[in-house]
Structure 1
Amino acid sequence: MATFFVTGTGTDVGKTFVSCAMLARAREQGLTTLGLKPVASGCHATPQGLRNADALALQAQCHPGLPYERINPVAFAPPIAPHLAARQAGQEMTLDTLTGALAPALAEPCDLTLIEGAGGWRVPLNDKEDLAGLATRLALPVILVVGLELGCLNQARLAAEAIRADGLPLAGWVGNLLDADFAVDGTIYRANLATLDQHLPGPCLGVVPRLDAASPAALAQSGAAHLALPCTPDEERT
């Protein structure tokens, strides 16, 4: 069993896409998979309750399948920071409640489990706790999704430094090309990737180009070809 926390250099850098692609890669290898989105804002109303597009994409990559409520136990409608959405809803989010809500899903044996955060590493959970505390409490190695665009070197290094300051290992990083113009000059693009590889304290698990697909599942399948599965610190020592 291997469990990782997936974070990003910011919002909309492709955490869900990379997580789904990595789960799809694991499924290709015959592994059982679980993708969790503990907290999601920007959810839409359905007859079954609030649903989040990212959480639904993760649910589609879970094998064997799980009910939505186990994938995304805390859901909010407004597309704002989760702690602000919780405040508007008159709810209190804490690390205790989140770890308790995830416990049933994490109790199931699984070859690869990915727990996707919200936004970047320091997204607040309440006035005193942030979502990074969930990864710390569960002692999880971290996968960092780097949105490849202007400014990504600074963003990636700061995120990696924060992860290390919290005492967690960086299991690896994934580059996700957000801005096609960023890769127009191939020499500079490769130099940026080399700089990330030099300064981030974890292996590159893949670099994903701009991809188009008709559905989230097809997109994940296309992305899977560009990714390697992460290793736990124990596996790296063997």
Structure 2
Amino acid sequence: MNQAYFIAGTDTDVGKTTIAAGLLHAARLQGMSTLGAKPVASGCTMTAKGLRNSDAQALIDESSIKLPYEQVNPFAFEPAIAPHVAAREAGVTLGVTPLLAAMRNVLDQRADFTLIEGAGGWRVPLAGLENLSDLAVALDLPVILVVGVRLGCISHALLSAEAIARDGLQLAG
């Protein structure tokens, strides 16, 4: 049985990667094949192999199916700013279509347990009127919402859950 989920957050820095890596680790301990991906990431570090993101690397480390870095994190940007701004500064058009193609390749690996981790909150802009939430809708994946426990989190969680439901997706957890 293949399970796949989109990991969303109420905001940036709420623990999406910690939760995703933990879920991948637990699934691997249960004997499942695992694969995690982060379609877009800003705040990457330049290495000899190119831009690398610590969140994407954490997902790779907990994945039993090993893909090249560029397939796990196809859109990596150096500045730690909103992905749509980082993409624009890099001269890259960031949209649902290229992200969708890359993530379908990840899902085509047919891991027992696959997680696709978003960036920031549910409505992170990509380009024009497109948001990262449009990728989750196009993939039709149930959503695991990660909430940072801090002042205002109840409202952020409820608003995010309402938006996910309004977008027609199942809130899985």
Unpaired segments of 5 or more residues in structure 1? Answer: 173-238
Structure 1 residues 126-182: Cα deviation after superposition (integer angstroms, max 9, x where no partner):
12100000000011100000111221111100000010110101001xxxxxxxxxx
1:46 shift after superposition: 0.6
1:22 shift after superposition: 0.5
Partner of 2:127: 126
CA contact (8 A) 2:65 2:111 kept: no
Partner of 2:13: 12
Residue identity matched to 1:83: H
Q: Which has the larger radius of gyration?
A: 1
TM-score, scaled relative to structure 1: 0.71
The Cα RMSD (Å) is 0.8
Unpaired segments of 5 or more residues in structure 2? Answer: none
CA distance in 1, matches of 2:111, 2:139: 16
CA distance in 1, matches of 2:48, 2:153: 40
CA contact (8 A) 1:73 1:102 kept: no
1:65 partnered with 2:66 = yes
CA contact (8 A) 2:164 2:170 kept: yes
CA distance in 2, matches of 1:109, 1:8: 25
TM-score, scaled relative to structure 2: 0.97
Determine helix, strand or coil for the equivalent of 1:102.
helix
1:94 shift after superposition: 1.2
Structure 1 residues 176-196: Cα deviation after superposition (integer angstroms, max 9, x where no partner):
xxxxxxxxxxxxxxxxxxxxx
Partner of 1:39: 40
Residue identity matched to 1:17: T
Quick one: higher RCO (CA 8 Å, sep 6+), 1 or 2?
2
Percent of residue pairs bearing the same amino acid type? 56
CA contact (8 A) 2:53 2:76 kept: yes
Residues matched between the structures, number: 172
Aligned structure 1 segments of 4 or more residues deviating by more than 3 angstroms: none
